[in-house]
């Protein structure tokens, strides 16, 4: 009887790749772990799974436990931040047969004009036919890559959000993005602190050192408890769309449309009331929260 009980518990908690595929809307088949399939799955993930930190503003806790992350994102159809989304994606890579290495990166802090002193952003490096690529499904907003980036220093790689470029000084890799001019449609938000008017921006830097999940445990705790963390100062939910992205930061809802032909991003912004937030999360991000969200939008180093 104890063996049967253990078997039932294991079966109930099993993580299923096909269930993940259904979550992101991947209906295709794959014969081998190639670049074309990775591009498709990467894009579907960022279109289906929001970058969000709502749990810590709902009285909940984020965890590095992969099974709990799987339940949250796949079965409960929530989103997550990088330690959740990219950790789940590393499991997807492994299950699909890709060779990958988990790396830690230091995010550039715009208020301090310097990199954060610790690895606060988890990413994956994937090897395909001898070539390395960066897979990152959880940076969010205007700096979210839709497809893996080939690790060639100095090469401009155009994607819907703009042109991404990896730089290398021999040891440290740095990711930069060149975007477009923001055109804010609502004049009341023209000078909003959420608008990033920099055309070229530094995103993060990293070393090619394999990191185990334990490496991010203290970081995860800091990011959701410290008053110095942008994640405690802003409630954020962001999702990529076929034409751009949408985001809810505090009480400000934004829809951004990429317009590369005119080298602009068209931004529609409006403030919403507490009573609207539940509906917006459900209709715009496909998120239904169990606990009540307490929105927050204090000053922090974060822009759309």
Sequence-distant (6+) residues with CB within 8 A of 179 are 142, 161, 162, 196, 198, 199, 200, 201, 265
- φ, ψ dihedrals at 74, nearest 5°: -85, -50
Catalytic residue among 42, 45, 57, 82: 82
Q: Is residue 1 helix, strand or coil?
A: coil
Alpha helices (H) along the chain? 2-12, 17-24, 35-48, 66-70, 82-96, 217-225, 230-233, 274-285
For tokens 């299923």, name the residue: 16
214 as an active site residue: the answer is: no
Is residue 136 annotated as a catalytic residue, yes or no? yes
Nearest to 172 by CA among 123, 207, 224: 207
Catalytic annotation on 143? no
Active-site residue among 45, 136, 143, 165?
136
Identify any residues that bridge with 197 across adjacent strands, giving them in sequence order.
none
Given 42, 45, 121, 147, which residue is catalytic? 121
Active site residues per annotation: 82, 121, 136
């Amino acid at each position: 009887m104890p063996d049967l009980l253990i078997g039932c518990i294991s079966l109930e908690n099993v993580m299923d790749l096909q269930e993940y595929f259904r979550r992101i809307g991947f209906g295709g088949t794959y014969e081998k772990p190639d670049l074309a399939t990775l591009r498709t799955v990467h894009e579907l993930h960022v279109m289906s799974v929001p970058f969000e930190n709502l749990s810590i503003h709902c009285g909940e806790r984020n965890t590095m436990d992969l099974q709990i992350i799987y339940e949250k994102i796949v079965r409960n159809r929530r989103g997550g931040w990088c330690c959740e989304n990219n950790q789940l994606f590393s499991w997807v890579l492994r299950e699909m047969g890709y060779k990958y290495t988990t790396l830690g990166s230091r995010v550039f802090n715009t208020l301090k004009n310097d990199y954060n002193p610790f690895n606060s952003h988890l990413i994956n490096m994937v090897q395909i036919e001898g070539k390395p690529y960066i897979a990152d499904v959880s940076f969010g907003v205007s700096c979210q890559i839709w497809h893996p980036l080939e690790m060639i220093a100095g090469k401009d790689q155009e994607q819907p959000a703009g042109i991404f470029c990896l730089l290398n000084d021999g040891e440290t890799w740095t990711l930069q993005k060149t975007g477009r001019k923001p055109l804010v449609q609502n004049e009341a938000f023209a000078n909003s602190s959420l608008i990033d008017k920099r055309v070229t921006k530094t995103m993060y830097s990293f070393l090619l050192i394999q990191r185990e999940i334990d490496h991010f445990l203290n970081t995860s705790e800091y990011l959701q408890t410290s008053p110095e963390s942008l994640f405690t100062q802003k409630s954020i939910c962001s999702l990529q769309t076929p034409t751009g992205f949408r985001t809810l930061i505090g009480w400000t809802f934004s829809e951004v449309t990429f317009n590369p032909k005119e080298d602009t991003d068209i931004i529609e912004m409006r403030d919403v009331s507490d009573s609207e937030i539940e509906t917006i999360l459900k209709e715009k991000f496909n998120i239904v929260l169990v606990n009540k969200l307490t929105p927050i939008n204090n000053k922090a180093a974060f822009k759309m």
